[in-house]
């Protein structure tokens, strides 16, 4: 786990500590809980997260950064495959195709803007 704000001796982390460490909002963390992706321990109304909960959240964030749908993330968490981040071969191929399409669309958009005379993001304009 990243060094961050967590003490190596701590058994549990508060919701605020987890949010600060991972850069998540309280709302996002509660949403993941409501969707059944994580299940922190509770004492009265307080949530307490174990290291394994934090690592699961890191995995969720990595999968989300690849553009996986919430349903797909749930499937990966429940039945991890042999591929990177627990992806199975079919989902890995699907994600690769989606990201390739997104890259092509982004490159086409950048080319359009450059052809239209927009140079705000070119190296010449940054100097």
Overall size of the chain counted in residues: 127
Return the H-helix or E-strand segment holding 56: helix 51-65
Residue 116 neighbours by CB under 8 Å, 6+ apart: none
SS3 at position 90: helix
Q: Are 12 and 41 in contact (CB under 8 A)?
A: yes
Q: Alpha carbon 59 to chain centroid distance?
A: 7
Residue 123 pLDDT class (50, 70, 90 cuts):
low
pTM of the model: 0.76
Best CA proximity match to 35, nearest among 10, 4, 7, 64:
64
The pLDDT tens digits for 2-38 are 444 444 445 789 999 999 999 999 999 999 999 999 9
């Amino acid at each position: 786990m990243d060094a961050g704000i967590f003490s190596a001796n701590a058994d549990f982390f508060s919701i605020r500590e987890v949010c600060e460490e991972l850069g998540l909002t309280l709302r996002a963390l509660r949403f993941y809980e409501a969707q059944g992706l994580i299940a922190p321990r509770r004492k009265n109304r307080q949530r307490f997260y174990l290291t394994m909960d934090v690592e699961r959240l890191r995995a969720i964030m990595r999968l989300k950064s690849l553009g996986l749908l919430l349903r797909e993330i749930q499937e990966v968490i429940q039945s991890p495959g042999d591929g990177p981040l627990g992806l199975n071969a079919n989902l890995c191929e699907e994600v690769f195709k989606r990201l390739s399409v997104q890259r092509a669309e982004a490159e086409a958009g950048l080319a359009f803007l450059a052809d239209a005379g927009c140079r705000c993001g070119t190296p010449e304009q940054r100097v």
